[in-house]
Amino acid sequence: MEKIRRASHAGSWYTDNPNKLSEELDGWIRAAGLPKSSDVRGVIAPHAGYSYSGRAAAYAFGNIDPTNITRVFLLGPSHHYYTPKCSLSTATVYKTPIGDLPIDLEVIEELKATGKFELMNLRVDEAEHSMEMHLPYLSKVFEGHPVKIIPILVGALSAENEAMYGKLLAKYVDDPHNFFSVSSDFCHWGSRFNYMYYDKKYGAIHKSIEALDKMGMDIIETGDADAFKQYLSEYDNTICGRHPISVFLHVSVLSFLESQVFIPFNNNKNCPNYLLNIQNGTFEFPDFLLMVVRLCWSIFQMLSNSSTKIKIKFLRYEQSSQCKSTRDSSVSYASAAAKVDA
C-alpha cells in the first residue's frame, strides 16, 4: 500500500508552484556552470530555505551526471526528534512539487535486517526539513532518469555509532549506480543560536566565522573522521549535519576496506599460511612482530590499490548575512562534491 510523505515545507521554505520552482532550480544550476561528471558519487549540500541556500546548493547538485545513477542514499540530521541511532523512513514515496521520488523498499529491508536502524513515523518524517530540502534538486537533476531514494535520518550518534553506520553503508559506494546526498548547514552564529565564537585576528566577525568554517571544510576534505571529531570538540562549531557528514566520512574511507584480504605467511617452510581478515578482525599468527609488519603492509597496499576512493572537494561557501556586531546572526552554507579519486 502506498504511503506518501507530503512536501510539508513547500509553500514556506520553497515555492510550491511547480513552474516557478523548476525555473529557479534551472537558473541556479545554470549560474553555477559546473560540468556534470559520472565520477561524482555524493554531495554535501545545505538545507535552509531556498531564498537563503538555494543558490549555494546548486554547486553541489549541478555536478551530478544522472545517466547511470538509480539509487540515492539521503542522509540528514534530526532537528526535532531525538534518537541516538539512524532512522529509516516508513513512507513508500516522497512528494515534491516537480515530481515524486519513490523509496527503494528493497534496500530499506536490507538495512532493517541489520537490526541497527529505527523506523521513523510519518509525523517525524514530515516535520524534518533537512532531507526534504534536497528533494526538489534531486527531482530536477534526475528528470527523465528513474531513481529511487533511501532516506536516513541521522540521530545524535556517538563516534562509535558513526563508524558503525559508515561501515554498514560503505559497501554501497562501490556500485556506480548508487549516490549519497548529505544534508548540512554550517556555522549558526549569534545569540539566538547560543554560539558566538570570535577570533579577533580575522577582524570582522563574519571573517572569523568564515575562517572557522573553512577550517572544518579543509578537515572534511582530508576524509579524516577523527580529525573532524576533534575539530568539533575543540571549537564546537554549530554544524547541524555533523553526524551525517561524519557517517559519510567513514563511508568514503571504509568503502575500499570492505573486502577480505588473505595474506600468506611463509616465514619458514614449516609454517602454514595464515589468514588475515581485516573485515572482522580475527587473526592468528605464530610471530607477533611478523603480524604487525604484515598488517601495516597490507593496510598500505589496500589504501594504495582500492577500487573506490572518494575525494571530497568544497566548491561553494556563503553566509546568510555578514555579522559585524554581537547583535547580528548568520547561518553558513557550503556545498561539496565527492568524486571517485582515480
Structural domains in the chain plus CATH codes: 4-195+202-255+309-340 (3.40.830.10), 260-305 (no CATH)
d(C-alpha 180, C-alpha 262), whole Å: 30
pLDDT of 299 reads 54
Give a three-class secondary structure readout of 124-164: HHHHCCCCHHHHHHHHHHCCCCCCEEEEEEECCCCHHHHHH
Cβ contact 171:110 at 8 Å: no
Mean pLDDT of 4-14: 98
pLDDT of 1 reads 81
Mean pLDDT of 218-231: 98
pLDDT of 286 reads 52
Give 188's strand partners: 331
Mean pLDDT of 36-49: 98
With 90 as the cut, is the pLDDT of residue 279 above it?
no
Mean pLDDT of 272-297: 48
C-alpha cell at 286: 605464530
Label residue 257 left, alpha or beta by phi (over 0 means left) and psi (-120 to 50 means alpha): alpha
Tens of pLDDT, residue by residue over 180-212, are 999 999 999 999 999 999 999 999 999 999 999
pLDDT grade for 296, boundaries at 50, 70 and 90: low
pLDDT of 314 reads 99
Mean pLDDT of 105-126: 98
Tens of pLDDT, residue by residue over 61-99, are 999 999 999 999 999 999 999 999 999 999 999 999 999
Q: What percent of the chain has pLDDT over 70?
A: 84
Q: What percent of the chain has pLDDT over 90?
A: 82
